Amino acid sequence: MSDIGPQLLEATFVLVGVLLGITGVRSLLNKSNPRRFTTAAFWLLLAITFAFGAVLPYWVTGVLILAIGALSLARGVKTGKLDEGTPEERAAGARRLRSWIFLPALALAGIAVLISTLAPFGEVSGTLSIGVASVAALGIAWAMTRAPAGVVVAQGDRMVQQVGPIGMLPQFLAMLGVVFTSAGVGEVVSNGIAGIVPEDSPLAGVIAYCVGMALFTIIVGNTFAAFTVITAGIGIPFVIALGGDPVVVGALAMTAGFCGTLVTPMAANFNALPVALLEMKKPYGVIKAQAPLAAVLFVIQVALMYFWAF
Amino acid sequence: MGPDWLVLIGVVIIVVGFLLKLDVIAVVIVAAIATALVSGLSFPEILELIGKAWTDNRAVSLFLLTLPMIALSERYGLKEQAIVLINRLQALTPGRFLTMYTVLRQLTGIFGIRISGMVQFVRPIVHPMTAAAAARQAEVSPANEEKIKAESALSENIGNFFGQNGFVAASGVLLIVGTLDSLGYPVSPEQIAFASLPMIGIAAVVAAIHFWLFDRKLRRGGPPKPPVPSDPAAPSSEGASHE
């Protein structure tokens, strides 16, 4: 049974390709988009890397990635007018469906967990379950809202465009992580850290990993970028290699990074945007309020990682 | 130290690129190419490496498949219904209201509902309701008005950050899975989401204590007074109050 798992997983990537392809085609046809040709190219190239990833030679995908990067660099990706419905339509939906409107989202999480625990697809069950649950939850939402098919397609397109190129960042960072690993960045960082942190002390390793996550996040303003670098350089050699549970360590390292996000002006969306939105007088008012809380949560996470992972 | 320090060029490019707010995707790609170049790969080998790394990590973007359902729910009133639910929290103190909002925000995170909370909730609902709750129980000084704004943003950030890792298809969760996998430690999204739950609970408790202390601070800020419609437009001339 587990041998069809990888094939089913490949099918979910084809579905992602279809979703991105729809956005590409609709961008091309959307005359209200000021850069519709480059926008369409961006999404269509991405769609190809997903749908045909298994059959394309890797170097071709590499070329496509460079082209996608160039389109992003040239600020070629814009959004035209998107179908959000009128406020009256949305209010009517809320009146009709009430809190049942949350059901599809709840079903998504429930089905994903259920499938991954029960499904006999071996290692790919976890990722595969997301694909299956997404399709099932969309079906539930469609049945409940009784939306015309055109609206369903338009909504998928809208959210992909609103999430935008930045939504692809985690995958670019994961790719960068692989390049870092094969180039030996992890070893160089850990050699540098080895002078400061004793190599056989789990507690010192946990502290170094969490501090590294928070500091790197403060500098670049992005926990995801920090995770790629710091996990290869500190997390693996100083924590996981000493016997730390990768699941616990990975999960807590990410949230330790969030404590850095709470105190850095580099994370503009979270700390500077509200200052502007709420017309605050002090530019760092939000950061100042968050700092003590971030410090408390950080210390708790270091302790939790140390006691739970070992 | 040997010349192998050169492979850190990618890290430097990331830091500088992000600091200068250059296009992030381009910065990441340039960092990857530069790192691969100094490690001695030829250009065709680099394309091969990048293409394989991208293809192997497609699972990181699987969260895209959850978007049509969320978008459709939004189109039929998801946010409007969320506002109805939040409006039922009227009678609470500022701190208790913010605690409830933090927990609600964590729950939406756990169920993968993507909302840009600052624009859609904090500005139009959370801050006005917190300010109104504060005005109900005591005179609000200009310094406290500023704090109420900051705490409103804080409740969104804490709820958002510490909720999202509880969702199996969150991009952060998938990045953790992809990264650990690439480094030779296969884990599943469910395991990561499950291991994130204790910290979500702890964050909620710590936030609740924080907001309880905030309530106390506010109450000390002025004498109790009967309910009067607050006047948020009142200009205040003090720039930065010192403390």
State the average pLDDT over residues A98-118: 86
> Which segments in chain B show pLDDT lower than 70?
1-3, 114-116, 221-243
Q: Using the 8-state DSSP alphabet, how is residue B62 labeled? A: G
pLDDT for res B91: 81
State the average pLDDT over residues A159-171: 89
Residue B51 lies in a domain: no
Query: Which residue in B19, B168, B185 is closest to A246 by CB distance?
Result: B185
pLDDT beyond 50 at A50: yes
Sign of CA dihedral A287, A288, A290, A293: positive
Residue B155 lies in a domain: yes
Residue B29 lies in a domain: yes
- How many residues comprise chain B? 243
Q: Among A178, A210, A230, A301, pick the best mutation site for testing chain B contact (most B Cβ within 10 A).
A: A178
Nearest chain A residue to B41 by CA distance is A183
Distance of CA B39 to the CA centre of its chain: 36
pLDDT for res B114: 66
CB contact under 8 A, B69 and A138: yes
Residue B233 lies in a domain: no
Q: B193 and B165 in contact (C-beta within 8 Å)?
A: yes
Q: A64 and A48 in contact (C-beta within 8 Å)?
A: yes
pLDDT tens-digit series, residues B159-204:
999 999 999 889 999 999 999 999 999 999 999 999 999 999 999 9
**DSSP code per residue over B2-37:** -GGGGGGHHHHHHHHHHHTT--HHHHHHHHHHHHHH
B145 and B210 housed in the same domain: yes
Sign of CA dihedral A209, A274, B155, A291: positive
B111 and B207 housed in the same domain: yes
B175 and B125 housed in the same domain: yes
pLDDT for res A126: 77
pLDDT tens-digit series, residues A252-287:
999 999 999 999 988 888 998 899 889 899 999 999
Query: Which residue in A109, A172, A277 is closest to B167 by CB distance?
Result: A109
Q: B49 and A182 in contact (C-beta within 8 Å)?
A: yes
B150 to chain A, any CB pair closer than 8 A? The answer is: yes
B87 and B185 housed in the same domain: yes
pLDDT tens-digit series, residues A217-261:
998 888 999 999 999 999 999 999 999 999 999 999 999 999 999
Q: Which amino acid is at A285?
A: G
pLDDT for res B97: 94
pLDDT for res A207: 97
pLDDT beyond 60 at A294: yes
A156 to chain B, any CB pair closer than 8 A? The answer is: yes
Q: B169 and B66 in contact (C-beta within 8 Å)?
A: yes
Q: Report ipTM (2 d.p.).
A: 0.90
B23 to chain A, any CB pair closer than 8 A? The answer is: yes
B75 and B34 housed in the same domain: no
Q: Which helix (H) or strand (E) holds A215?
A: helix A202-220
B166 and B210 housed in the same domain: yes
Nearest to residue B193, comparing CAs of B111, B70, B95?
A: B111
Element counts in chain B: helices (H) and strands (E): 11, 0
The count of structural domains within chain B is 2
Residue B166 lies in a domain: yes
Residues 71-130 of A with CB under 8 A from B: 72-73, 75, 83-85, 89-99, 101-102, 104-106, 108-109, 112-113, 116-117, 123, 125-127, 129-130
pTM of the model: 0.86
Q: A141 and B146 in contact (C-beta within 8 Å)?
A: no
Residue B204 lies in a domain: yes
CB contact under 8 A, A178 and B53: yes
Determine the structural domain holding residue B131 and report its residue range: 59-220
Q: Where are the domains of chain A?
A: 3-163, 169-309
Gap between the Cα atoms of A187 and A251, Å rounded: 22
pLDDT for res B230: 46
pLDDT beyond 80 at A73: yes
Residue B159 lies in a domain: yes
A228 to chain B, any CB pair closer than 8 A? The answer is: yes
Q: Where residue A75 falls among pLDDT bands split at 50, 70, 90? A: very high
Which chain B residues are within 8 Å of A290, Cβ to Cβ? 150, 154, 157-158
Query: Which residue in B57, B158, B180 is closest to A171 by CB distance?
Result: B57
Residue B30 lies in a domain: yes
Q: Where residue A84 falls among pLDDT bands split at 50, 70, 90? A: confident
